[in-house]
Amino acid sequence: MSPTLYTLSFKYKQRLPDPNFAYRIEDANTNFYTFAFSGGVRKQMRRLNVYGFLGPGIGLTSEPRANVMADQKLVKMENINRFNLSSKLGAGADYKFNGFFLGLELGYLHNFRKIQDTPVNIFTVMIGLKSDITQIGDRVIDVIGIDGSISGKKKKIV
């Protein structure tokens, strides 16, 4: 299980009128927050690991709106917040060095709610270092008193 939090901001131009607001927005930002849960499969080949994942997401989209109060010479900005559902899928690989991994992951997130009649599809590319926490997991298993290991370095006593 791999949870991911997306916090994105996009340039925004309100193309469709909103009946609750007299004016449209020309230059602004819309914010997109999604928490995605994904599960998948992982294949280990010596030091190289490859994996694929798929899962749902839930989030919030925040779109700006404006009310002009001419008598006060004021523009009051508001945000329209909407919940959204999404799906996430992707694949990746990482190579183990001594104590860390060098990884590459490609992902795709599809939001089922459109913003101003425009579909939201997000492609991600992540390159970076990951820590090797299997040794910490082995220590936790020793403290708990369970035979075996997460890293595979210790064999389970039968």
Q: Are 61 and 84 in contact (CB under 8 A)?
A: yes
Residues 6+ apart with CB under 8 A from 98: none
The single residue listed with the structure tokens 């590459």 is 104
What DSSP state is assigned to residue 23?
S
* pLDDT for res 119: 92
Q: Lowest mean pLDDT: which of 24-28, 43-47, 117-121, 133-137?
A: 133-137
pTM for this structure? 0.73
Give the residues across from 29 on adjacent strands: 11
- Give me the chain's average pLDDT, please: 88
Residue 129 has pLDDT above 80, yes or no: yes
pLDDT for 151: 59
Given a cut of 60, is residue 100 above it in pLDDT? yes
Confidence category of residue 142, pLDDT binned at 50, 70, 90: confident
37 pairs with which residues across the strands? 3
**What Rg, from alpha-carbon coordinates, does the chain have?**
23
Confidence of residue 97 (pLDDT cuts 50, 70, 90): confident
Each residue of 36-90: pLDDT tens digit?
Answer: 999 999 998 989 999 999 999 999 999 999 989 999 999 999 999 999 999 999 9
